[in-house]
Amino acid sequence: MLVDSHAHLDSPRYASDREAMLQRAWQAGIGTVLSIGIGEGPAEMHQARDLCREFNGRPNLPRLYASAGIYPHNTPEADDTTLAKLDALLSEPEVIACGEVGLDYYHEGAAHDVQRRGLIRQLEISAARKRPILIHCRGTNESTDAWDDLFLVLDEHWAKTGLGGIMHCFGGGWEQARRSLEMGFLVSFAGNLTYPSAQPLREVAARMPLDCILVETDAPWLAPAPDRGKRNEPAFVARTAQVLAETMGKQPDEIAAATTENFQRLFQLH
Ligand SMILES: [Zn+2]
């Protein structure tokens, strides 16, 4: 069985077929999905948790877990009220991670210093709740600016917790991967690994140790080839896992076993 370590199951794009979409995932061999709780903004942070309550226990569906967090461009809303909501969500058993949080300098939006302050406050809350973090990091075009700032923040505010986390939809180079591993993070590969233009990313993936990798969809975005541009869903993570196996020179079974084991170890789900 595979784990989809990052899917936005609360997206309105699944409003008409959410249960059928989860059944397709189960039939494709996806045993677990981490449902990301950022919504369109902090007012919807609880939606991923609600989906766990709605679907867990029904037969022939993946086991759902949830995260909660304030996305980098929503950090202007990271006031005391929304941070208290985040803290309360992270105390619940289904909500195993804080995220996706981080820095996004690629898209226009929240000022960089506002993003950094919002990230730091969420790291403090997550550390107190002993929850690993899910990091979104994207620099300005080819620059490593966001990564450089991210590691400054994590070195000061997170490394000492030993809780680790996931570099979601990894898009950095080997240097960023190496520093992530040093800090106890797992590196998660999404559908963009399958795109023809992603040769540099596949070269990073080829060097990864088996005990540090995950696969994800980031659904409903980033559908793997040949469905690029269409709505993505957890069932499709099997294709990304297949490409990761080819890239690393492993059997698909080994990738499935390693990524599942890594996910369970990080979140202590044994
Ligand atoms: Zn995401």
pLDDT digits (tens, 9 = 90+) for 100-123: 999 999 999 999 999 999 999 999
Give this prediction's pTM. Answer: 0.97
Q: How many CB atoms lie within 10 A of CB 270?
A: 6
User: Residue 142: what pLDDT?
Assistant: 84
Q: Is the pLDDT of residue 270 over 90?
A: no
d(CA 71, ligand 1 centre) in Å: 9
Model confidence pLDDT, tens digit, residues 78-94: 999 999 999 999 999 99
C-beta neighbour count of 152 within 10 angstroms: 11
Share of the chain above pLDDT 70, in %: 100
- Distance from the CA of 58 to the center of ligand 1, in angstroms? 25
pLDDT digits (tens, 9 = 90+) for 202-248: 999 999 999 999 999 999 999 999 999 999 999 999 999 999 999 99
User: Measured between alpha carbons, how far is 263 from 245 in angstroms, rounded to an integer?
Assistant: 17
Q: Which residue has the tokens 């877990």?
A: 65
Count Cα atoms within 13 angstroms, Cβ side, for 20. 5
CA–centroid distance, 35 to ligand 1, in Å, is 9
In tens, the pLDDT along 119-148 reads 999 999 999 999 999 999 999 988 999 999
Tell me the pLDDT tens digit for each residue of 4-39.
999 999 999 999 999 999 999 999 999 999 999 999
Q: How far, in Å, from the CA of 136 to the mean position of ligand 1? A: 7
- For 67, residues 6+ apart whose C-beta sits below 8 A from its C-beta are 34, 35, 36, 37, 38, 48, 95, 96, 97, 98, 99, 100, 134
Nearest-angstrom CA–CA distance, 226 and 224? 6
How remote is the CA of residue 205 from the centroid of ligand 1, in Å?
A: 20
Q: How far is the CA of 6 from the centre of ligand 1 (A)?
A: 6
Average pLDDT of 167-179? 97
State how far the Cα of 240 lies from the Cα of 215, in Å rounded to an integer. 7
Cα of 7 to ligand 1 centre, how many Å?
Answer: 7
Q: Give 101 Cα–ligand 1 centroid separation in angstroms.
A: 9
